[in-house]
Amino acid sequence: MDIFRLANLQITLFLLILTGLLLKKKGILDQEGKRCLTDLCVNVVIPCNILKSCLAPLGENVLGICGRILLAAFVIQGIYLVLNRVLFNRFPEGQKKVLQYCTIASNGGFLGNPVAEGVYGPLGLLYASVFLIPMRLIMWSVGTSYFMEQKVDKKETLKKVLTHPCLVAIYLGMSCMVCHLQLPRFLVMTIGYIGSCNSALTMFLVGTILADVPASTLVNRKSVLYSVFRLGLLPLMALGVCHVLGGMDPVGMGVSVVMTGMPAPATAAIFAARYDSDAPFATQLVILSTLLSMVTIPCWCYAIG
């Protein structure tokens, strides 16, 4: 992997994040604007970006590798669930819930897709979208149950997950790939133009999150240890899983490791605030791990090659 290419990508993403932070600080993007931007990214821009990657010319063995990536992602999620049973029992209950959620979930949907596409191209974006399927299933079922005392409606949760716009985009994209469907040129161009907004808008959104917390409150022993765990140890574990399972090309392995090394998800702070857990602690984990990931992500990309 070209170190200069990685450096350029990270500097670009950092400047986009900084732009989002300034937009929030200046009041151009307020809380309502942030909510609208989130909905726009989740429901329109990211799905179009995923669909765009499926419509790009890809190799013949892509579907087989997608299956291996999906298997690896399910195995990794299973390991997360085991770790959550033993690692965080000594923490206060509010922090324990946050740490458990931030282990099974990451910011891969917002930060991971632009990185995967920037480093590995359309194929990387497709692999990243497939890798995120188990995480979306677990975070909206087991993940929400960490915060809510009442039982989660499994049927409603499954319906919500399976009809998530990003998964619908994968269904449509995979169908086009398997059936060799050629969409009209104007439709492909429309999807492409919308999908091309993904990196800028999602990085703006990350920047608005960073703007909400004073820098002086970010660094403490727990947030640093979590960041080492999330950004360093978990990707190393994912690398081991990929080697054991085998059957992946270098791009598939790289995407699996890099997506595992994504920072804590912004939804952790949202759930913690909504269900009376430790919201300030969750925000610290999200922001510090996001900032440190600007260093660790290119390191993992370069190490894997």
CA–CA separation, 185 vs 109, rounded Å? 27
What's the whole-model pTM score? 0.84
- CB-based burial of residue 133 (10 Å sphere; 0-12 exposed, 13-18 middle, 19+ buried)? buried
| 189: helix, strand or coil | helix
Q: Minimal CA–CA distance to 107: which of 231, 265, 259?
A: 265
Residue percentage of the chain with pLDDT more than 70: 96
pLDDT digits (tens, 9 = 90+) for 208-229: 877 877 777 778 899 999 999 9
Structure tokens at 237: 């574990």
- CB-based burial of residue 215 (10 Å sphere; 0-12 exposed, 13-18 middle, 19+ buried)? exposed
69 touches 131 (CB < 8 A)? yes
Find the farthest-apart pair of alpha carbons in the chain and give their distance in angstroms, rounded.
57
Q: Minimal CA–CA distance to 107: which of 269, 251, 249?
A: 269
CA–CA separation, 132 vs 112, rounded Å? 9
User: pLDDT tens digits for the chain (305 residues)?
Assistant: 567 777 788 888 889 989 999 999 999 988 898 889 888 988 999 899 889 888 877 666 888 899 999 999 999 999 999 999 999 999 999 999 999 999 999 988 888 888 998 889 889 999 999 999 999 888 877 888 888 765 556 777 777 778 888 888 988 988 888 888 888 999 999 999 999 898 889 889 888 877 877 777 778 899 999 999 999 999 999 999 999 998 888 999 999 999 999 999 888 887 887 777 888 898 889 889 988 998 999 999 888 87
- Tell me the residue ranges of DSSP E strands in 30-136: none
Cβ of 219: how many Cβ atoms within 10 Å? 12
Assigned fold of 3-304: Na+/H+ antiporter like fold (1.20.1530)
- Residue 194: its H or E element: helix 185-195
pLDDT digits (tens, 9 = 90+) for 67-116: 999 999 999 999 999 999 999 999 999 999 999 999 999 988 888 888 99
9 touches 118 (CB < 8 A)? yes
- Check residue 149 and report its DSSP letter: S
CA–CA separation, 265 vs 247, rounded Å? 29
